[in-house]
Amino acid sequence: MSQAEATQTDPTEPFDVPRHVAIIMDGNGRWAAARGLPRAEGHRRGVEALRKTVRAAGEMGIACLTIFSFSSENWSRPPSEIRDLMGLLRRFIRNDLAELHQSGVRVRVVGERSDLDPDIRKLLEEAEELTRDNDRLTLVVAFNYGARQEIARAANRIAAEVAAGRIASGVVTAELIAQHLDAPDIPDPDLIIRTSGEQRLSNFLLWQAAYSELVFVPIYWPEFDRAALESAIAEYRRRERRFGGLAAQTGS
């Protein structure tokens, strides 16, 4: 086999993939209900799908993967479900952090941390600190995240700088707001995938999604795997991104 053929068939070889993929991991509860299982089991299986997806994203050469894990609005769920979800996050970080670190994953966290339990805050900080120099894949965990709240935080940061005299008033631009979001150095997502068949953003990355391609897949999150990720990326590749400009000329 020639070098070129070997490269083409190597499943771990990076190929033309979007730089930043963001996923709304939805449908754990319905996956469980369809099988007569408790919702907690759906969430547990959702973590398994997440592990597979992170591994696949790294192998495929995706630079950044953002996952929507818990929304600002998810506090309206029953306390027992919130406890299950917090417990899963704790276990995910405790059990998987070493492996993520070894495979070169950098963990970042976006969302409001001040109303999380102190032990969770500490785990999130430890994960960021341990992995800060990794550069194979950046895993952005959106936890206690809502996009409107993030934009409000950016506005407060800017207001504080205006009050301190570091920014003049009347000069707020879209770029300045982007620079004050929770992870300003992360590029906007090229592709946002939502599982479960729902077709909405549910307060996810509203600012950053301005020109993202949206792909809605009709499977529940626990069923998501590398093949599903590849097929969402194949759909993305069929789209034409125009960013307000004109379609590329195709002859004549």
Residues 6 or more apart from 247 whose CB is under 8 A from it? 240
* Least distance in angstroms from the C-beta of 23 to ligand IPE: 9
Active site (annotated) includes residue 16? no
Task: Based on the shown chain and the rule CB under 6 A, indicate whether residue 69 belongs to the binding site for ligand IPE.
Answer: yes
Please give the distance of CA 169 from its chain centroid, rounded to a whole number: 33
> Considering only residues 40, 50, 66, 68, which one is a binding residue for ligand IPE as defined by CB under 6 A?
68
Q: What is the phi/psi pair of residue 48, to 5°?
A: -65, -40
* Least distance in angstroms from the C-beta of 126 to ligand IPE: 22
Number of Cβ atoms within 10 Å of the Cβ of 122: 12
Q: Which of 159, 149, 236 is nearest to 190 (CA)?
A: 236
* Least distance in angstroms from the C-beta of 105 to ligand IPE: 20
Q: How far apart (Å, rounded) are the C-alpha atoms in residues 28 and 98?
A: 26
DSSP string, 114-148: TTS-HHHHHHHHHHHHHTTT--SEEEEEEEEE-HH
CA dihedral 101, 70, 113, 110 (to 10 degrees): 60
User: Out of Mg ion, ligand IPE, none, which partner does residue 70 contact, by CB within 5 to 8 A per kind?
Assistant: ligand IPE
Site string for ligand IPE, 219-238 (x = CB under 6 A): --x-----------------
* Least distance in angstroms from the C-beta of 16 to Mg ion: 31
Contact region with ligand IPE (CB under 6 A), list: 88-96, 176-184, 192-200, 235-243: 192-200
For residue 219, the 8-state DSSP code is: S
* Least distance in angstroms from the C-beta of 153 to ligand IPE: 18
Task: Based on the shown chain and the rule CB under 5 A, indicate whether residue 26 belongs to the binding site for Mg ion.
Answer: yes
Contact region with ligand IPE (CB under 6 A), list: 8-16, 166-174, 179-187, 193-201: 193-201
User: Out of ligand IPE, Mg ion, none, which partner does residue 202 contact, by CB within 5 to 8 A per kind?
Assistant: ligand IPE
Task: Based on the shown chain and the rule CB under 6 A, indicate whether residue 101 belongs to the binding site for ligand IPE.
Answer: no
Task: Based on the shown chain and the rule CB under 5 A, indicate whether residue 213 belongs to the binding site for Mg ion.
Answer: no
CA atoms within 13 A on the CB side of 245: 7
Active site (annotated) includes residue 95? no
Q: How far apart (Å, rounded) are the C-alpha atoms in residues 170 and 175?
A: 14
Task: Based on the shown chain and the rule CB under 6 A, indicate whether residue 196 belongs to the binding site for ligand IPE.
Answer: yes
Residues that bind ligand IPE (CB under 6 A): 24-30, 68-71, 74, 85, 196, 198, 200, 202, 221
